[in-house]
Amino acid sequence: MDSDEMLALFDHEMREHARPEGPGVRVERNFDVVRQVGSADDWNGVVWTAPDLGPARAEAAIAAQVEHYTSLGHAEFEWKLYSHDRPADLGRRLLAAGFAAEEPETLFVAPVAGLPTTAGLPAGTEAHTVSDAAGVELMVRAHELAFGTDGSRLRHQTLARLTDDTFLAVVVLADGEPVSSARMELHPGTDFAGLWGGGTAPGWRGRGIYRALIAHRARVAAERGYRFLQVDATDQSAPILRRLGFTALSTTTPYVYRTAP
């Protein structure tokens, strides 16, 4: 399967026919878009737009989503825009409608069969599957150290999915302290498993933890019969992913709409 075919499969399975991410969340098709809707602590936003979307329909779709999410009382929602989405100036139209663009990431995909499924962690560290509230707290602390962001929403979402067998969270400890974490979303009925949140505290970077966590999740995905792993990667992670055999298929930019405080 070449890059264009992989991208078409990703768009079809993971965007146009997206599955809800967790309990209490629903996916809706609203004319030219597919959106996810949940509580204020869930991820809310647009995941797909019709490939033949033209300027007039784009303006109508943007207005409809703003009206929908604000009517629910949500303080913010995201329009997840990919570089191959249409119309070509959709990003500009979102900005004009009051959205703010955040840092873009690169969509990488790799066949699971070609990925390493074992990789050693640095001496003195060990990986643990998150299975209870205490593990969630360790994972959240690792995430906050790695990204410098508040983990409250991540805590809520992970606690809600502790018994969900389509979700995996892993935390790496060094002498009992969290230094890295990562998650994986398994999507039954599709060929894809998604890698999310892979991050390591600054003092532990460059020692192979990120690579080891990819291998760990690739092994689980292979055991569960998934064909591809998908990652939205920063520039920091991209070189590692390329060396492992991932292919860049597109870029994705979060456009976030926030209501006035």
Domain spans in the chain, listed from the N-terminal domain onward: 3-105+252-258, 116-244
Residue 110 CA to residue 8 CA, distance in Å, equals: 14
Class of domain 3-105+252-258: alpha beta
Encoded tokens for 196: 């999310």
Cβ neighbours around 216 below 10 Å, total: 21
For the four alpha carbons of 12, 13, 14 and 17, in that order, the dihedral sign comes to positive
At 205 the three-state DSSP class reads: coil
Three-class HEC string of 4-26: HHHHHHHHHHHHHCCCCCCCCCE
The verdict on whether omega for the bond into residue 87 sits within 30 degrees of 0, i.e. cis, is yes
Average pLDDT, integer, range 183-187: 96
pLDDT, residue 1, reads 85
Arch. (CATH architecture) of 116-244? 3-Layer(aba) Sandwich (3.40)
Segments of 73-176 assigned E as strands? 76-82, 100-101, 105-111, 125-129, 167-174
Q: What is the pLDDT of residues 95-115, one digit of tens each?
A: 999 999 999 999 999 999 999
Average pLDDT, integer, range 45-69: 97
pLDDT for residue 48 is more than 90:
yes
What band does 261 get if pLDDT is binned at 50, 70 and 90? low
Please answer whether residues 226 and 117 qualify as being in contact, where contact means their C-beta atoms are separated by less than 8 angstroms: no
Residue-wise over 80-119: b if at least 16 C-beta within 10 A, else e? Answer: bbbeebebeebbebbeebebeeeebbbbbbbbbeebebeb
At 94 the three-state DSSP class reads: helix
**Domains 3-105+252-258 and 116-244 are alike in CATH topology:** yes
CA contacts within 13 A on the Cβ side of 97: 22
Q: What is the pLDDT of residues 71-84, one digit of tens each?
A: 999 999 999 999 99
Q: What is the pLDDT of residues 122-181, one digit of tens each?
A: 999 999 999 999 999 999 999 999 999 999 999 999 999 999 999 999 999 999 999 999
pLDDT, residue 75, reads 93
pLDDT, residue 125, reads 97
**Residue 66's closest CA among 41, 80, 46, 81?**
46
**Residue 237's closest CA among 260, 203, 214, 261?**
214
Residue 66 CA to residue 16 CA, distance in Å, equals: 20
Q: What is the pLDDT of residues 198-255, one digit of tens each?
A: 999 999 999 999 999 999 999 999 999 999 999 999 999 999 999 999 999 999 999 9
pLDDT, residue 22, reads 85
